[in-house]
Each structure stands twice: as C-alpha cells, then as structure tokens.
Structure 1
Amino acid sequence: MTIVDTGDRPGAVDLGRRDRKKQETRAALERAALELVAERGIGGVTVEDISQAVDVSSRTFFNYFSCKEEAVTGKGPGTDTQIGEMMRSAPAELPVIEVLRRALRAEADQIQARQEQWLLRLKVFEQNPSLLPRLVANGAEVERMIAEAVAGRIGVDPVADGYPILVTAVAWTAFRVAMMRWSAGGGDRELGELLDEAFDHLTAGLADPSSPA
C-alpha cells in the first residue's frame, strides 16, 4: 500500500502501517508453513508449530488462515482480481487469447519475482498429494472467474456459450504446463518465457512442431 499525504486524516498513515504489518505477518506464516512442511510433510506439522516459528499465537494464525493447508497453498496465481481487471481494460481490438496471454504473463512475472518461495511451494505440492483437492478447488475458482471476465468482454453468457469456458481452460492449462516445466527445471528458465512458448503453440493451432535440424 502506498502512503500518501493525508492532510487532515492522520489516522490513514497508521492504517497503512497496520496493513503492511498484517501483510508481513501473513507472508511470514506462509514461509514458515512451507519450510516446515517441506522438512516434515503436511502430517508432521501443526498450526502451533507454524505459529511458534513466527513467534505469534495460534489465535493470530487463525486471523489469516482457516487451517495449515491454506497457509501452505497461500495465495495462488490468479486468485486476486488482476486477471479480470486486465480482461476488462485491454484494448477492444485485441483477441481474447492475446489478452489472456498478457494477463497470465503478468501473473508469471509476479511469481518469478518470488522464485525461491514458489519453487519451494511447488516442491511441497508434489511431495504432499493430500493438498491436491485444495489445489484443484482453487484452480476451478480461478477458471470460473476468468471465464466470466471473458464472457463479459465478448458479450456472451458464460454458461450458455461454450467459448469462454473453453478458451479459459486452454489458457489456464498452458499456464499450468509452464509452471510444471519451470518447477521441473528448478527455475533454470524464466517462467514467462515458458508461458510464451506454450501460448505460441496454442496460437499456431497446436500444429506438429518442426523436426530438429
């Protein structure tokens, strides 16, 4: 949050500081949860363990998360309103698939900026299959939100017309594939580069790639 000159509103500065403190506490809890689960597995970690690692109470933990699994999964890609906002504000002449590429590329750049934490998170997901139902549910919610934004952009019903759901599923799959490749390679290539590569295949109609020379 950016703090601006509030003039006759001195309490706004304090509110900004409180918001930053909350963000810092949430981030610290997420980090502690990831590190502990990476070391012990999800079954070997309790809410109390995570709270103690950050030197806060369990009550404070529950101000931010409903359970330890939520702390581990954290705020996943696309879970805020950024993608929907980009869909609505992009130039009208841009094709939907290009708008989706740009929106998801912005998400990829944010993840890349937190590479160490995200690679650890993806490793934890791989090592703890019990987290899969939560990940699937989160992904389904993101897809629903994107499909509604697509439908609003082109002026169709998001349920009756199959296009928004289809193009969203394809774009989100491209994002997941890029994430999987990024994780498997240990971050040796930029996530955005892998995402662009996936979208290049999509926009080419998924034609057979040329044989290597």
Structure 2
Amino acid sequence: MNDFKPRSDKRPDGIPTRCDVSLMSDGELAVTEAIRVVENMGASESLTKASTLLMNARDAVADHVEGKFKVCALAAAFFLCSSAGHAQTVPNISTTDITTAGINTASALQAASPTTYFSNTGDALLVVKGGGTTVSATLKTQATSLYQDGYGSTPLSDVTVSIPSASIVVMGPFPQGRWNNQYGLVTVSFTSVVGVSASAINVPQ
C-alpha cells in the first residue's frame, strides 16, 4: 500500500489543497488521469456519467487524505461498485434482425421474465404480447439526466408502459446512452409475466 502524508485542507492563502496538483496524493493523481482519459474519449451521456463518478471518487480520496472520513461518500462508492459488479451481462431474450422480407413475430416471441434483458444496438425495438390481464412494463433508464448546451440539464426517469390483455405492444427505439447498461443490455421489468411473451427486433440502418 502506498504511503501518503496527511495534509491540511487549505493552503496558507486559503486555496483548497485538493485543487493544487503539486499537493495531490498518488491516489488523487491516478483518478485525475482517469478523468482525463475518459474526457478524451468524446462526448456522450455515459461518458458524462463516468466523469462525474470519477470526480466524486477523487473527492472521496481527498477527504481521506485530509482526514475527513465521510461515511456517506464511502457507502455511496461501495453501492456503485456493488451495482456495477452485479449488472446483468447476458440477455435472457434474443434480438432478431428484421429484413425487407419481414419477420414472424409469433415465432420470435419468448416467455418473459419478471426482469427481462435484451441486447440493444440503438436500433432495437421491444415487442411484448400481453397475457390474460393488463400488466405494466417498466423500462429502466441508466442515465439520470440529459445535458444540452443552452438548455441545461433535464432529469430522466424510468418509463412505464401498459400492456393490455392479449394485445401486442411495440416499444423503442432505445438510445444507447440512456438505456444500455455497461454490457449493452436494456432492462425491463414486468408487474406479472403470466402468459406474457417478448422479443427484441433489431432494425439495421
């Protein structure tokens, strides 16, 4: 484990020491470099989320160096790491490409799970066939906000869709930055899956 020297939170001139690169610990410098690498990858909702998480991580390291042990910050970091570690990695329904000749949705449908996952390239549609009663499908957003220059930040939330009995409902498309987890999957949960089936259709551009 690398040694480090505890430091004061302020320089003699009142500037926070965590803002002075020459006073940063090895841990803070490593996270700062990670932020630089992510920012050089381009611009997307996912990368903005990654940069924000890294900045929060750097502040948590700085709190440690300055002797400010924030239980809430550490608990949040643990929760984020645990969530990432347990994210679904494989789909449990298949995604089929549609062609000019069309697709037989009846044969493509599979039994839905209470939490269903499907692969999404950004051009996927979710097809759900209802069962004997009306159920709700909730699409889980991965991004919590959308930022646009000149307009500021807009909060994003899950989207719930009603599936009437014995009906077929088509949902999508699903922009990857908002809906995909780190494994390229979209998550949808159902209030009931009795008699409910689903499939994903990819519409190649």
Per the normalisation by structure 2, the TM-score is 0.27
Higher relative contact order by CA 8 Å / sep ≥ 6: 1 or 2? 2
- Which has more helix, going by share of residues? 1
Larger Rg: 2
- Which has more strand, going by share of residues? 2
Per the normalisation by structure 1, the TM-score is 0.26
